[in-house]
Amino acid sequence: MMRGIRGATTVKSDTVDDISGSTQELLTAMLKENDIAISDLASAIFTATSDITSGYPARAAREMGWKYVPLLCFQEMDVKGSLPMCIRVLLLINTDKAQEEIRHIYLHGASELRKDLE
């Protein structure tokens, strides 16, 4: 069975190091909290707000060893009043876990996006 895991984080500044570090922190937490191995990943879809232009979140995943996982990056919709400097991810995983067992991860300023999960 395939399940989706959502996550998001914010970056302090639009630099390659901040984008990579924040993305890797988020992905590491998502894997750990859901007891996922890289081999369980079917794909990952990343979005970044329009104020993030210095790097690709997917590159951070490649640097973590996600060599064979299909990855895509997109620009998040530019909605007035939305959370700035935000990276979002949707991981599609192969798992036997029930939907209610999945832990979605929101770090730093992105915790505001899903207060219902706290």
pLDDT mean across residues, the chain: 94
Q: Which of 25, 59, 103, 114 is catalytic?
A: 114
Give CA–CA dist 9/68, Å, rounded: 24
Examine the residue annotation and report whether 103 is marked as an active-site residue of this protein.
no
pLDDT tens for each residue of 42-54: 999 999 999 999 9
Examine the residue annotation and report whether 106 is marked as an active-site residue of this protein.
yes
pLDDT tens for each residue of 57-95: 999 999 999 999 999 999 999 999 999 999 999 999 999
Query: What are the chain's domains?
Result: 2-113 (3.30.1330.40)
Spatial CB neighbours of 84, under 8 Å, sequence gap ≥ 6:
10, 49, 51
pLDDT of res. 45: 98
Q: How far is CA 51 from CA 14, 56, 92, 95, 98, in A?
A: 7, 12, 26, 34, 36
DSSP-based three-state secondary structure for 82: coil
Examine the residue annotation and report whether 59 is marked as an active-site residue of this protein.
no
Examine the residue annotation and report whether 62 is marked as an active-site residue of this protein.
yes
Parallel, antiparallel or unpaired: strands 41-48 and 71-75: parallel
Q: How confident is the model at residue 118 (pLDDT cuts 50, 70, 90)?
A: low
